Structure 1
Amino acid sequence: TRTWIVDRFRAGEVRLLVTTDVLSRGLDIGVTHVVVYDYFDATDYVHRIGRTARGPHGHGQALVFFDLAESSPQMAQDLIAILEESGVEVPRALREGAGPRQH
């Protein structure tokens, strides 16, 4: 069950937790790394990676898989804006794939 596995994770008995948004909503657990396999929108992205800030040192690493062929230019531009606001280097391929910024 959800509670059992989360308790094992918190206790350090489980070191890797693969989950969906359904499981992670409402959980207040700190993690050091988040992998976002299916980027959908900026709001979900921020919610997902926010878990790294709850880690033991107040920061962590996030890896996002972003398929330019499957995403709209606006989605790419939204992700770029979040990365820039966070002071994270934006990959050149993402900038090129996003096209000109829409206002």
Structure 2
Amino acid sequence: EELANLLALMPAKKQTMLFSATFPEQVTLLTQSLLNNPVEIQVQSKDESTLVQRVFTVNKGEKTTVLAHLIKAHKWRQALIFVNAKKDCEHLAGKLEKRGINAQVFHGDKGQSERTRVIEKFKAGEIEVLIATDIAARGLDIAKLPVVINFNLPRSPADYMHRIGRSGRAGEVGLALSLIDYEDFHHFKIIEKKNKLRLEREEVTGFAVNQENLDAAQALKNDKPMAKPAGTGKKKNKADDIDDVWSGWRGRSK
């Protein structure tokens, strides 16, 4: 709608260039309406992705406790946490404050000057935990951002890729964590299907999912029985070597 308003003010004969990080069907259709026999240029990285994606199942109502544990246990100096609503930003920040974690919020109700100030402080490492809505999922380039956490799953599968893309940029090692309880299982399967992913469900050590939640998950028929907790006899591979990655980030951020 905004593009249509702008184009209405422009001359009919003009040179137009369109840039997009991704080309889903909606953008492809947009190019057909805006461009006349365009030359298409695609730039793709030849390097293997350096972003590690992991999914941790948690008990209903324990996401905040698990999140606080992870932040403290791994001493993250920069963590971008996504929630789905502005009120959720404030609510989660308050809960983390009670657990001794200083968190700032970033959402659409903040003025542009304040948002700019918060992002600059976050980039500089002056803010350790930033809780944001999807306003931070696009257009932000934060160099060497070590970790992105989906506290709430995004409503759109495409937004999942945009969120986690804030980390692991320009060849840097990055980590994307998603915390899911049994009510999230079905939606995360949709996210995986749309993005052609299949990620193992794991548990955070010391926070095993209880039988009540397992029964609820089975009743909803949304997922298979859970995998064993990380580090309990599985074959070690690149994605599992997360402790080494965390140790490296702690050393870099000191």
The alignment's TM-score, normalised by the length of structure 1, stands at 0.66
Conservation of the 8 A alpha-carbon contact between 1:77 and 1:98: no
Describe how 1:31-50 pairs up with structure 2 within 5 A: 31-39=145-153, 40-50=155-165
> Structure 2: any 5+ residue segments left out of the alignment?
1-113, 203-213, 225-254
CA positional deviation for 1:71: 5.5
The structure in which a higher percent of residues are helix is 1
Q: 2:127 is aligned with what amino acid?
A: V
CA positional deviation for 1:23: 3.5
Change (3 A) 1:83 1:59: farther
1:4 to 111, 114, 117: 117
> Which residue in the other structure is 1:97 paired with?
222
CA positional deviation for 1:77: 4.3
Conservation of the 8 A alpha-carbon contact between 2:167 and 2:174: yes
SS at match of 2:166: helix
Distance 1:70 1:32 in 2: 24
Distance 1:14 1:78 in 2: 30
2:180 to 66, 81, 85: 66
Q: 2:200 is aligned with what amino acid?
A: V
Distance 1:7 1:66 in 2: 30
Conservation of the 8 A alpha-carbon contact between 2:185 and 2:222: no
Q: 1:76 is aligned with what amino acid?
A: K
Identity, in percent, stands at 30
> Structure 1: any 5+ residue segments left out of the alignment?
none
Q: 2:222 is aligned with what amino acid?
A: G
Q: 2:172 is aligned with what amino acid?
A: G
Q: 1:45 is aligned with what amino acid?
A: Y
Distance 1:41 1:98 in 2: 19
The structure in which a higher percent of residues are strand is 2
Larger Rg: 2
Conservation of the 8 A alpha-carbon contact between 2:137 and 2:159: no
What CA deviation, in whole Å up to 9, does each residue of 1:12-57 have, x standing for no partner? Answer: 22222211112443211131101101112321111111111227x5
Counting matched residue pairs gives: 92
